[in-house]
Structure 1
Amino acid sequence: MLTPRFKLTQDEDHVFITVHAPYTNISETEIDVDGENFLFVSSPYFLRLRLPGRIVESDRSKGSYTSDSGDFTLTFDKENPGEHFENLDMITSLLAPRDIPDVNPDLVQMLEDDGITIEQDVEGEPSEKYSFGFANKISTEFKEIGTEFPQIFELRIPEQVPVHERNALREKYEDHKFSSDHYLADFFDKELLAPYLDATMSWDTPSFDKNVDFTEEEVAVLKELPNKHYILTNSEYKQVFYGLVDILFGYCYDKRTTLNESNVESSWTINKLSATLSWFCVFKDMKEVLIACYRRALVYPIFRNFDLCNKVKNDLVSLLRKGKKYIIKCMLSIHQMFNLSNDARYILNQLYIKDYLIFLQKCRAEEFEDLSNNIANIEIMKNNVALDLVELEAAALMVQKEESQIMQNQMEVQMAHLTLITQITKLNDNLFVYDTDTSDSSSDDSSSDSSDDSSVLDSDDDLS
């Protein structure tokens, strides 16, 4: 049986359900309402929903079928008029859930019905964990996954590396890959990075509408996801959110460096900048997550600039404040990028993204506001990333200053040389003029003397 596309809306007293079921036999369609349960059966379609409130079928209930579009449009009364039904647009979480496993009531806290269960961490748990994937729950399904997908994972055999050792190995590998030349080139090239530093993200523009809707393609993905119930320890629950931040940082970096126009390289960027997706890492606190994000953004992509990292961090804070539905849309975008990637990144959807799409629908809206505030209150300094950025910049500035001084000295020498040549030229010109005047004067004097002598002689001759 197929799960049809569906959409739910409401007003104060009614719930409206639209079911897209083309080419169905209307005469064999069955619709049943029982409190919070809704059932639609019309071969080859089957839909069973569990609503966040109770509805009733009454004389005022109505339904219609539009053959051109293949849509059933149904209207039901709310059992309690005026009640607001939360999360009617969370498609996956409305699908009838699986049975909830038994849990110890002394150890759990129910966040939402049929949603997420948090257990207390058990003291003395084995520290040598080799698992990976969403909430670190996969341990047997894949073997040597990094060897099979080397273009995706830098940790080749996660089942042989304990979880608590992965971050240290990752940092050692990043130290090796870091290029000081590339970093300094981006540090000094202000003109190159200016468009990206000055860009405004689509979710921060005046035209952005926070009341976003899922597209038909997005609904098609969400309705195919199973409605799981998650049982997580306190630590695992926090780690899931840290992983979300790690993935969305890469998403924000991609959006800023493509000026909101993701391209064929975007799936690589998000994959590479996320230590969760590349190394199966888990984190113990938010600052550790952000430091990992900054490090990878300074090691791998085409633009490696600390100010750019700060911009991306601010973008992430802003994105998280746009609400749960928009965050899910962003994760759906990542899901599509990975599915369309030529490098088999669909495997990341299987390991992480699909579960995030289910999990996020079950989270409370307050979680994301708290998450954004937590990030906003953390400042990452250059010394925090442990890549010797301060020392590199200081040394480069000193070299630049020395080169500038050398150039200035050379210029001064050249100017002095030109001045000397000019003075010599003027001196020669002056000397040349002086010699000419002297020669003329001597000639005149000689001529005068000769004339005088002749006159005397002539006189003498005359006298004689």
Structure 2
Amino acid sequence: MITPRFSCSQTADSVVVSIYCPSIRAADADINVDETLLTVHINPYFLRLNFSHPLLEDDASSANYDPSTGYLTVTLTKENKGQEFTDLDVLAKLLAPRPSVPAPIIEVLASTEVVSSTDVSPQEDLAEKTQKLSLDQERQEILKAAENDWQLPQEVPQPAFNISAQKHYGFLDMHSGYFKHVTHTENEVNELGGEAETCTLKERRQKRIKHEDEKWDEEYYMADFADDAYIQELLSWEHPHIAARADAFEYTEEENLKMLQLPRKEYLSTPTQTHDLYLILITILFSYAYESRTTQHDPTPESAWTICSLTPAFSALDPPKSSLSGFSTNLQEFTAQELVTTLVPSYRRSLAFPLYRSFILAEACRKDIARLLIAGKRVIVRCLLELKQILDHHEVYYVYSKIWLDDFCTWVLAYADDDVLSRLGKLLLELKVHKNALGWDVEGLEAATKECFERESDSDDESTDESSSE
């Protein structure tokens, strides 16, 4: 089935869905409304939309097809007239499946008959158990019981072993097998080598930290600290998504087409997993903020490499986990300690890998993340779509879009909470990431560079005085 292009609008009393389905027989259209769910089937097109509030199919509803334009216009009545339907322009959210209804939990509060366990004979207990067996199994069980003085044989349960060495990774650990032949590709950002499919999370983290320490170059950092003219230009730049007015936000047609191609899944994440997703989002947005600042929002052929290199969840398959000590016990809240722990790998990588290595540049990226989060999930999805655009067009790094960004775009639109994002952004604005948290002597290197400058300055002054006295 083909998902058609569509758009939604609303009036005070109704919702209007405009569907592009050229060259069809309008009489064959099958339109159904089930509370918040609308389904439209007309061969070869199928569309299922899940709205935020219930709709009705009454006398005021209609469906009209214009063969000259190829558009089918479906008008449905709001159950509560005057109610505002939100996110009608967020197509991926409308396409997301309706959340599953959890099975009811049945609790037995009382029983009309209470039988004491002392009143049940071994024979009666055996009969009760064997009733649940098939006829053949029942006969075999009775024979075994008779041979064993009418006591059912018991065996110690064997522990379950995972015989597969393959590990899962990516969004909610849903993916595997993408790096089976990684050694035969030109994946320069992969830090796990041929063990990408078998490394445990602990091993991934160890490899990541080791690689960062190996790439850390003190002289490179001191040189950028000493000559920071271009970095100062980068710091004065303001991201257009942050500067834009929130009330003027509207997705472009190209962005809507990209969202139509996103996976339509229901993500049944636990509270801990949801908490982790917000932390992972911070690290992805850090890479986005760095790449945007250093290219002035104009991607280059190196942008894909920069994004993947700066994101631990990409290059080392090592996302932040809230199970680390000191993390918040309230999964809807975030502590300063866990945010610092989350950001430290991004800071380290920004000082060890890319072209411009500056702590104050990393700090500017942190503030960019905070403002993007405060702007809300619509702006965040726009940023993620831009990252997808960059990675999808790379012949190797597209894999990170498949295992992370596709699902993240859908999840942010359908499940992320704007209130949580806003609180998280405000915390990041006030956060203090100290240089000594990086594990490198950044403060000592900066002090040595300043001292060297002062000596050169004093030497220049003395030479100037000597020349003037002559």
Class of the TM-score when normalised by the shorter of the 2 chains: 0.7 to 0.9
Normalised by the length of structure 1, the TM-score is 0.77
Show the counterpart of 1:278.
315
Whether the 8 Å contact between 1:146 and 1:158 is mirrored in structure 2 is no
Whether the 8 Å contact between 1:98 and 1:227 is mirrored in structure 2 is no
The one-letter code matched in structure 2 to 1:348 is Y
Relative to structure 1, is the Cα distance of residues 141 and 200 closer, same or farther in structure 2, using a 3 angstrom cutoff?
closer
Displacement of 1:316 in angstroms is 0.9
Displacement of 1:55 in angstroms is 1.2
Show the counterpart of 1:400.
453
Correspondence 1:161 to 2:212:
no
Question: What are the superposed Cα offsets for residues 229-260 of structure 1, whole Å, 9 maximum, x if unpaired?
Answer: 22223332222111111111111111111222
The one-letter code matched in structure 2 to 1:239 is D
Question: What are the superposed Cα offsets for residues 366-412 of structure 1, whole Å, 9 maximum, x if unpaired?
Answer: 22112212322321122221221111111222233334444445555
The CA distance in 2 between the partners of 1:178 and 1:147, in whole Å, is 27
Over the matched positions of the two proteins, sequence identity in percent amounts to 29
The one-letter code matched in structure 2 to 1:274 is T
Aligned length: 396
Alignment partner of 2:265: what SS?
Answer: coil
Among 218, 224, 232, the alignment partner of 2:261 is: 224
Show the counterpart of 2:114.
none
Q: Which residues of 2 match residues 294-313 of structure 1 at below 5 A?
A: 294-313=347-366
Correspondence 1:199 to 2:252:
no
Correspondence 1:380 to 2:417:
no
Among 394, 397, 419, the alignment partner of 1:345 is: 397
Show the counterpart of 1:371.
424
Whether the 8 Å contact between 2:187 and 2:396 is mirrored in structure 1 is no
Relative to structure 1, is the Cα distance of residues 326 and 67 closer, same or farther in structure 2, using a 3 angstrom cutoff?
farther
The one-letter code matched in structure 1 to 2:288 is Y
Question: What are the superposed Cα offsets for residues 69-127 of structure 1, whole Å, 9 maximum, x if unpaired?
Answer: 42222221101112233433332332362884967969xxxxxxxxxxxxxxxxxxx9x
Normalised by the length of structure 2, the TM-score is 0.76
Correspondence 1:354 to 2:406:
yes
The CA distance in 2 between the partners of 1:146 and 1:299, in whole Å, is 23
Show the counterpart of 1:114.
none
Displacement of 1:17 in angstroms is 0.8
Alignment partner of 2:51: what SS?
Answer: strand
The CA distance in 2 between the partners of 1:267 and 1:152, in whole Å, is 10
Displacement of 1:299 in angstroms is 1.2
Among 250, 259, 270, the alignment partner of 1:233 is: 270
Whether the 8 Å contact between 2:178 and 2:399 is mirrored in structure 1 is no
The CA distance in 2 between the partners of 1:247 and 1:96, in whole Å, is 23
Correspondence 1:138 to 2:190:
no
The CA distance in 1 between the partners of 2:311 and 2:68, in whole Å, is 45
Displacement of 1:347 in angstroms is 0.7
Whether the 8 Å contact between 2:53 and 2:85 is mirrored in structure 1 is yes
Correspondence 1:246 to 2:283:
yes
Correspondence 1:287 to 2:337:
no
Unaligned runs of 5+ in 2: 107-161, 323-337
Show the counterpart of 2:386.
333
Alignment partner of 1:344: what SS?
Answer: coil
Alignment partner of 1:395: what SS?
Answer: helix
Among 168, 187, 200, the alignment partner of 1:150 is: 187
Question: What are the superposed Cα offsets for residues 39-67 of structure 1, whole Å, 9 maximum, x if unpaired?
Answer: 21222211122322221122322343344
Alignment partner of 2:82: what SS?
Answer: coil
The one-letter code matched in structure 1 to 2:18 is T
Show the counterpart of 1:264.
301
Displacement of 1:148 in angstroms is 4.2
Relative to structure 1, is the Cα distance of residues 142 and 402 closer, same or farther in structure 2, using a 3 angstrom cutoff?
closer
The one-letter code matched in structure 1 to 2:402 is Q
Whether the 8 Å contact between 2:96 and 2:414 is mirrored in structure 1 is no
Among 310, 317, 320, the alignment partner of 2:373 is: 320
Relative to structure 1, is the Cα distance of residues 414 and 49 closer, same or farther in structure 2, using a 3 angstrom cutoff?
closer
Correspondence 1:25 to 2:62:
no
The one-letter code matched in structure 2 to 1:177 is K
Relative to structure 1, is the Cα distance of residues 55 and 312 closer, same or farther in structure 2, using a 3 angstrom cutoff?
same
Show the counterpart of 2:112.
none
Whether the 8 Å contact between 2:9 and 2:88 is mirrored in structure 1 is yes
Show the counterpart of 2:213.
175
Relative to structure 1, is the Cα distance of residues 246 and 104 closer, same or farther in structure 2, using a 3 angstrom cutoff?
farther
Show the counterpart of 2:223.
185
The CA distance in 2 between the partners of 1:242 and 1:147, in whole Å, is 32
The CA distance in 1 between the partners of 2:239 and 2:258, in whole Å, is 25
The CA distance in 1 between the partners of 2:443 and 2:264, in whole Å, is 49
Displacement of 1:26 in angstroms is 2.6
The one-letter code matched in structure 2 to 1:248 is L
Correspondence 1:62 to 2:62:
yes
The CA distance in 1 between the partners of 2:234 and 2:409, in whole Å, is 29
Relative to structure 1, is the Cα distance of residues 103 and 29 closer, same or farther in structure 2, using a 3 angstrom cutoff?
closer
Relative to structure 1, is the Cα distance of residues 392 and 58 closer, same or farther in structure 2, using a 3 angstrom cutoff?
same
Question: What are the superposed Cα offsets for residues 265-289 of structure 1, whole Å, 9 maximum, x if unpaired?
Answer: 2222211111111111121332112
Relative to structure 1, is the Cα distance of residues 411 and 90 closer, same or farther in structure 2, using a 3 angstrom cutoff?
closer
Among 244, 251, 274, the alignment partner of 1:214 is: 251
Cα RMSD, aligned residues only: 2.8
Show the counterpart of 1:89.
89
Whether the 8 Å contact between 2:55 and 2:78 is mirrored in structure 1 is yes
Whether the 8 Å contact between 1:98 and 1:228 is mirrored in structure 2 is no
Whether the 8 Å contact between 2:16 and 2:75 is mirrored in structure 1 is yes
Alignment partner of 1:73: what SS?
Answer: strand
Bigger-Rg structure (1/2): 1
Relative to structure 1, is the Cα distance of residues 188 and 89 closer, same or farther in structure 2, using a 3 angstrom cutoff?
same
The CA distance in 1 between the partners of 2:458 and 2:172, in whole Å, is 57
